[in-house]
A and B are shown apart, each in its own frame.
Chain A
Amino acid sequence: MSTQVTETPMQRDRATTIYERSQPGRRAAAPMDAGVPEHPLEELIPAGLLRDEPPRLPEVSEPEIVRHYNRISRRNFDLDTGFYPLGSCTMKHNPRLNERVAALPGHARLHPAQDPRRAQGALELMWLLQMSLAEICGLPHVSLQPSAGSHGELAGLLLTRAFHADRGERRHKVLAPDTAHGTNPASVTMAGYEVVKVATDARGGVDMDDLRAKVDDDVACLMLTNPNTLGLFDENIAEIAALIHEAGGTLYYDGANLNAVMGKSRPGDMGFDIVHVNLHKSFSQPHGGGGPGAGPIAVSERIEPFLPRPQVVRRERENGSGPFFDLDHDRPKSIGRLRGFQGNFGVFVRSYAYILSLGGDGLTEASETAVLNANYLKARLAEGRSGEGVPVAFDRHCMHEFVLSGAPMKRELGIKTLDLAKRLLDFGFHPPTVYFPLLVDEALMVEPTETETKESLDAFADAVERILTEAAEDPEVARQAPYTTPVRRLDEVKATRRPVVRQALD
């Protein structure tokens, strides 16, 4: 049995940092000649403003750096290696073409302050991406500025505030379902609002009675993910939108789950005023171990005047020689800047390349396949011990993801969702998102995406079945897992109680 704890070679190879490979005098970069008079620094800068000792950066040769980072890279699991069904994260394949076009010097070495006359290609690309996202979201105006989903949320709430302020109103509450991503309430607080939770009904949608009870003229906004984090489309969306709009609030769409509905249903048509799109989810920007991403926002006409500045615009040249793409800074009602320069342009290049590659029908097919894959995997996991141990929380067709409850497994087999997740690591799978959404006990949130084959879905379902079978014989196997990973279960409490967040040197 695999509980036999013998150290794997990688486990024997204990973690060593780049600083621990450092030897005085070693270096990678060759010294450069300034080629100008070598004045002592003290003649150029007052001595009191100069540093006494250089920072203790590592002293290593280039081959040592390459070996070090290659070596630690192998201690990562990644999407290119295996199935990564992390719910709400849309871990779809990252086409390498996108890396190639993003690296073209015309993109990669373009200074962000370049005069628009000499950056027409970049501004046109941004405009084309804006137009594409507007069509996909069903809303006419797009700002690409926000750096990630949570940044888009903050933008949306500040837009809401500006929209109400413009009408002489000051509202204080923002509604969000209890299934919302953690970023939603955190963004609400940063934007100076108070979050009010809305309950979920028996079918997994917004509890309409609870919503009606909580909507009043102090509600600034309702933030909603649709399909929601249970992977279910809220069938009452039209009524929800009407309720919020009648009360004078805005409707905000968290686009984390947009991958379910591209070309099938558009947030703008559902009644949303503001949408953020995670380009690192639906539009294939690699996740990078936690970024970079980008969180453009699409908005309705009534929100447009308040969009961040500068805004990329298309103007007709006076001499009729075609369009001119410009940065419009003259936006008096704008909420202002959310960040430096124009946004994560490199991400825009990749996402636009992705949209060009798939086209409108290809994006629609991507969503269809994502939904098919999710429903197939849900069906496979409803079989055998899996269906008993980790039943789906809301038993109906799902969209691009679904949520299982590990509560029966915990009760019957004595292993928790965390144990199942850790045991999956030994089988070479990234576990689903765990313990979210909060309203499902022992939750497992599974999002396979459209880029997985039936075979990989089957293999995952088989692994879950095997782990539950194994647990029925001996729950300790899962409780002690993982065994084969570069390190085994880590003491996270220690890292919080007595945090060691940097290497001690010398």
Chain B
Amino acid sequence: MLDAIGAESVEELFAQIPKGVRLQRSLDLPDGLGEAEVFERLAALAGRNADAERQVCFSGAGMYDHYVPAIVDAITQRSEFLTPYTPYQPEISQGGLQAMFEFQTAMSELTALPVSGAGLYEGPSSVASAAYLAMAATKRRRFVVSRGVHPHSRETLATYSVGYGAESVEVGLDGGLTDGAVLADAVDEETAAVILQSPNFLGGIEDVEALGAAAKEHGALLVVAVDPMTLGVLKPPGEQGADVALGEGQPLGNRLDFGGPSFGFFCATEEHIRRMPGRIAGETEDVDGRRGFVLALQTREQHIRREKATHNICTAQALNALAAMVHLAWLGREGFRELGELLVRRTAYARERLAEVDGVELLHEAPVAREFAVRLDAPVDRVLERCAERGIDAGYPLGREYPEYEDGLLVAITERRTPEQIDALADALGAAVSAEAVTVA
């Protein structure tokens, strides 16, 4: 090969790198290992994590221990889906493009909004992207954000806002739900978007339509983050006046993976189609009239529009969106609704059971779908530690992000959490709180 190149050595090819910036030693990394050894190393690390097979997981906060059907792995591990890149050559990317089109249809159905993108990174950065869209649409730079929006979303929005020069006003919660009066006062002619989440971070189902009235009145966009697994039973944002609906897609077909990769979904009304972030697949025809799919509206995107693009996103989460689509097809229309109902009923059961436990009370009484918050009569971290000793991850402690709920615990339910496990959680919490109460006394 060197002869064909006309070079003496591989080294000669690197001669274009000036001496001063050449690494004059080997990389200080261990020697390579054989496949079996690498497996053992990684398995040993994995073995030091209390995953949901070793601990009954009641943690949620945006990512949930749902059952991912085997068919999802079988399809997403196919080389044809796993190993290509972005479908820039549509003639040989019809599988991926069609999957995007099907996914967009499903998310459009779930949210009851006509336009869906092919997927963004994950939930919280999708909130920041929606705010960016709202700024472009309204030429305003102020967001009114409910404190019920996921803390990671609010923090990500704040990070992005420094860049694009916007500010946020936060509206507090009252009885587990966004304070409507305070929100109405906060919205004015400078407001680009009202940003809500439903169910909110504490699990409460917001009356999005009522809260959104203030946005409509002042020409601001209504942006709603939703949990896709609740949309088989809860009124979809598109029927509640939302201009943009988005969310964390992990519950659909994606494993926990310690936080990623998952995907963000992003849906909007027709009028925003040319401001959407990220890829969108569209239907078209080939020269012989065959139905086909392409990346539509590429003139919004960074590889064409560069500094005038609607967003900088390029590589996103196509495979994760495919996983969601397969999961949704597997559940099907009826199965999806049934799963939503099951979550609501088991969550109601769990809430009732926990409320009966001495030393545990409900943090709020607002209606919930799949997650709820309680207060504990003992330090939350100590109670979690005691539950962990019994093999239970009892939930997400609220104190760090909500100092006003220092004693708060967020409990999430999935179809994997059986009534027996819920009973065991109630027992464990009761025992832990009373043990800690004795310790404190």
Contacts and interface: CB of A to CB of B under 8 A. Distances in A.
A337 B62 contact: no
What 4 pairs across the A-B complex have the smallest Cβ distances? Answer: A106-B46, A341-B259, A112-B259, A359-B32
A153 B312 contact: yes
B393 interface: yes
Contacts of A147: 121-122, 125, 260-261, 317
B183 interface: no
Nearest to B166: A192
B302 interface: yes
Nearest to B64: A111
A49 interface: yes
A376 B5 contact: yes
Contacts of A346: 255, 257-258, 260-261
Contacts of A248: none
Interface stretch (B102-110, B186-194, B213-221, B431-439): B102-110
A266 B45 contact: no
Contacts of A154: 160, 163, 312
A44 B352 CA distance: 11
B74 interface: yes
Nearest to A69: B75
A79 B92 CA distance: 12
Interface stretch (A60-68, A405-413, A465-473): A60-68
B298 A190 contact: no
Contacts of A430: 84, 89, 92
A142 to B, nearest CB: 14
A100 B39 contact: yes
10 contacts: A17-B102, A29-B69, A34-B341, A122-B49, A337-B124, A368-B10, A372-B1, A491-B284, A492-B294, A499-B296
B155 interface: yes
A263 B122 contact: no
B337 interface: yes
Interface stretch (B53-61, B167-175, B354-362): B53-61
A136 interface: yes
A353 B34 CA distance: 11
Given A80-B83, A340-B150, A379-B6, A499 B282 contact: yes
Given A11-B290, A186-B311, A49 B367 contact: yes
Contact of A27 (B77, B83, B334): B334
B111 to A, nearest CB: 9
A157 B163 contact: yes
A353 B42 contact: yes
B345 A38 contact: yes
A337 B159 contact: yes
Interface in B229-257: 231-236, 239, 248, 255-257
A360 B7 CA distance: 25
B293 A15 contact: yes
Contacts of B273: 499, 501
A360 B30 CA distance: 6
A167 interface: no
B27 A291 contact: no
Interface in B44-100: 44-53, 55, 57, 59, 61-63, 65, 69, 71, 73-75, 77-96, 98-99
A356 interface: yes
B280 interface: yes
A158 B163 contact: yes
B51 to A, nearest CB: 4
B289 to A, nearest CB: 10
Interface stretch (A209-217, A230-238, A297-305, A314-322): A230-238
B327 to A, nearest CB: 9
B304 A182 contact: yes
A231 B339 CA distance: 52
A41 B341 contact: yes
Contacts of A333: none
Given A60-B329, A77-B92, A356 B41 contact: yes
A150 interface: yes
B349 interface: yes
Nearest to B68: A108
B38 A97 contact: yes
